[in-house]
Structure 1
Amino acid sequence: MTLNNLNMNKKHIPSVATLILFSFFLILNSCKNEVKEPVEKEVEKTVYASDVIPFFDDWKLILGDGSNAGIANNFENKDFFYTVNDGNSDWVVFKTPNGGDTHGTSNNTRTELAQTKKWYPKTANDELTATLKVMNVSATGDARVAASHAVVVGQIHSADAFENEPLKIFYKKFPGHTKGSVFWHYEINTAGDDNSKRWDYSSAVWGNDFAVVGDSVNTYPEEPKDGIALGEEFSYEVKVEKGIMTLNFSSEGHETKTFTKNLLESEYTTTEDIPEQTQKLFVPIGQDGVERKSAYAGEGCFFKLGAYNQTNGKSPEVNRNWCSGAETHNGDIQKQYADGNYAEVWFKKGSISISEDAVSNEGYFTKND
């Protein structure tokens, strides 16, 4: 090969730098043409109430608009029933306004579970437990009305006859107070045909009972020293066995309290048996009945749990114990929520034990839905 030919061939041999640049171009172009898989966004999983407390097969859920949502597994309603996490635990929220459509014949709204079966006190071996905290009670209401600023967080209800209530567990806090009261009620199962004469007897757990009210519309009694604050946890256990109701209440930093009540034999069968508390609250407004001797014997009873708002917009002139005259914004739920005219209760734990003699409670829902 001549020198000229060799030089000519050298002209056609790429330099090392050219090869490197060419390789880099190929790699870069390959990356541009590579089809990238789309990145799927992680969808946040809804935590349902039935994930937090898995006992919803035993209940139907009544909402704060009066509707029956049925068995509430994998269910939520952002106005009334949903879950929250407070940074430590998941909670089930029951929320209901002062005014709106109600369930059955009640004057009060509720977001509340009602047991699908009923049982009979004489043969009962039934139990309900719950751990909860009350987050809000109505900002308005006549302070002279015993039910103002209160919510019922657990019940035993009769499904038969007058459908009275041998148990209601209350929380009540007046505006401006840090601490509220927990108390429970026994409602007589009225003798005779005139159930309008029924009345409740209230027992204090922590703080005051139902009878402690304000002297005027906007003046409040002294704040209870041993009360429960909004957002403070407490627990209750309700057991009915062979006609005897036993109640246990506990809360960290508070004395544990236990009560018992016979549901088969009344202690209020004559006018002389009417307690002083009742004479103060109920007798002046004509609720001065007596109870049938066998109390709740023979009637199917069932548990309830949730937020049964005791504050409503009805005039206190109708009933000075139960009609609060509170703000309802003509039933506008969102306006009531915006200015504190609602009840809100959070539950962290709950359990229910049902005796073998329990039967369907469908008749109650048929009558009241």
Structure 2
Amino acid sequence: MNNKKTMLFLSLLSVSFLASASTSNTTYKPNKVTNLIGWSLSVPVDNDGNGKADNIKEEELASGYSNPPYFYINTDGDLVFKSYVKGFKTSKNTTYTRSELREMLRKGKTSINTKGVDKNNWVLSSSPKAEQEKAGGVDGTLTATLSVNHVTETGKDYQIGRVIIGQIHANDDEPLRLYYRKLPMNDNASIYFAHEPRHGFGKEKYYSLIGSKSNTQSNPKNGIAINEKFSYSIVAKGNTIKVTISRPNMADVSKTIDISKSGYDKEGQYLYFKAGVYNQNKTGKPSEYAQATFYSIKATHNK
């Protein structure tokens, strides 16, 4: 099947990708993960020459965007994200590279702003009623099934082997960052998350789910190996956030935190999910990278 026919076929399915020129003889299967019209994508390259990481909007992403090795759909129809230690960043305030999806409730309706309490973003059910009416959703659940395929092994000790695989982002802060971290001397990785209150509402705190965030921890008990498939869910409801890690034939591991004093239930505060690979190492060798394969991603809201 030539590329023109392939693109037509995949376009009819609304979610598809072709290989890059270097793998032009391979036809990738339609994306089975998610309808990407509800997401935008950041990749750590600068093809448009603006000095920042490229941002791929919803319609371009859903209609066939592919940029191996940073983002593509493999032959099984799964999303692959890859981010080297060195690369273009999303803004002056960001020092780490990423290949990461950003939730876009507007689904390609560019007349709706990306920022603000509007139909592109969501709020908590603890927020004022007027804010809930303006928002595109109320409360939120992000679920994903993935495997982390590679992490960094060089650099400063507190950065080695760590990568963010899911987030809740707000106006300026990050209510939730979910980390996978595997140290070079260990077979398995730990899972932990951070909660960052709004500026002036308290200090950032870390919570362990499997193992810890320690730079010297021994092989975590029941840790998650490279290429091992697992699932996570992030549930924000009212003034709580619950994170759960699930694996076949193992008990779920969950942690619920109270965010009632973190300031995200105030007027003007909006939220959105992120998922992919946010490489948390900026000091390793330039050839080092983080990579993950996502088999499913789904975001839902009460509105």
Q: TM bucket by the smaller chain? A: 0.7 to 0.9
Shift of 1:175: 0.9
Task: Kindly report structure 1 stretches of 4+ aligned residues shifted beyond 6 Å.
Answer: none
Is the CA contact (8 Å cut-off) linking 2:71 and 2:82 kept in structure 1?
yes
Task: Give, in whole Å, the separation in 1 of the partners of 2:235 and 2:35.
Answer: 17
Task: Give the letter aligned to residue 262 of structure 1.
Answer: D
Deviation digits for residues 258-311 of structure 1 (CA, Å, limit 9, x no counterpart): 222233334xxxxxxxxxxxxxxxxxxxxxxxxxxx355331011000000000
**What residue is the counterpart of 1:127 in the other structure?**
141
Task: Give, in whole Å, the separation in 2 of the partners of 1:102 and 1:311.
Answer: 13
Deviation digits for residues 114-166 of structure 1 (CA, Å, limit 9, x no counterpart): 112211122523211100000011121222x2x321000000001x2xx1111
**What residue is the counterpart of 2:166 in the other structure?**
154
Secondary structure, counterpart of 1:52 in structure 2 = coil
Task: Give, in whole Å, the separation in 2 of the partners of 1:296 and 1:136.
Answer: 37
**What residue is the counterpart of 2:301 in the other structure?**
354
Secondary structure, counterpart of 2:74 in structure 1 = strand
Is the CA contact (8 Å cut-off) linking 1:97 and 1:342 kept in structure 2?
yes
Shift of 1:253: 4.3
Q: Which runs of 5+ in 2 are unaligned?
A: 1-5, 7-24, 46-52, 105-119, 127-131, 133-137
Secondary structure, counterpart of 1:223 in structure 2 = coil
Task: Give the letter aligned to residue 273 of structure 2.
Answer: F
**What residue is the counterpart of 1:297 in the other structure?**
266
Task: Give the letter aligned to residue 28 of structure 2.
Answer: T
Match runs of 1:257-296 below 5 Å: 257-266=253-262, 294-295=263-264
Shift of 1:47: 2.5
Is the CA contact (8 Å cut-off) linking 2:153 and 2:160 kept in structure 1?
no
**What residue is the counterpart of 1:227 in the other structure?**
223
User: What is the total number of aligned residue pairs between the two structures?
Assistant: 242
**What residue is the counterpart of 2:175 in the other structure?**
166
1:311 and 2:301 equivalent? no
Is the CA contact (8 Å cut-off) linking 1:119 and 1:355 kept in structure 2?
no
**What residue is the counterpart of 2:85 in the other structure?**
98
Deviation digits for residues 173-196 of structure 1 (CA, Å, limit 9, x no counterpart): 11132111111111122218xxxx
Structure whose residues are more often helix by fraction: 1
Taking only aligned residues, the RMSD between alpha carbons, in angstroms, comes to 2.1
**What residue is the counterpart of 1:5 in the other structure?**
none
**What residue is the counterpart of 2:206 in the other structure?**
202
Secondary structure, counterpart of 1:312 in structure 2 = coil
Shift of 1:93: 0.3
Task: Give, in whole Å, the separation in 2 of the partners of 1:90 and 1:232.
Answer: 18
Q: Which runs of 5+ in 1 are unaligned?
A: 1-41, 193-197, 215-220, 267-293, 314-325, 329-335, 357-369
Shift of 1:101: 1.0
Deviates more, 1:249-258 or 1:57-66: 249-258
Residue identity (%): 24
1:176 and 2:185 equivalent? yes
Q: 1:202 to 1:60 in 2, by over 3 A?
A: same
Secondary structure, counterpart of 2:37 in structure 1 = helix
Task: Give the letter aligned to residue 195 of structure 2.
Answer: Y
For 1:56, which of 36, 43, 49 is the aligned residue? 36
Q: 1:239 to 1:225 in 2, by over 3 A?
A: closer
Relative contact order (C-alpha < 8 Å, sep 6+): which is higher?
A: 1
1:111 and 2:99 equivalent? yes
Secondary structure, counterpart of 2:79 in structure 1 = strand
Q: Which has the larger radius of gyration?
A: 1
Structure whose residues are more often strand by fraction: 2
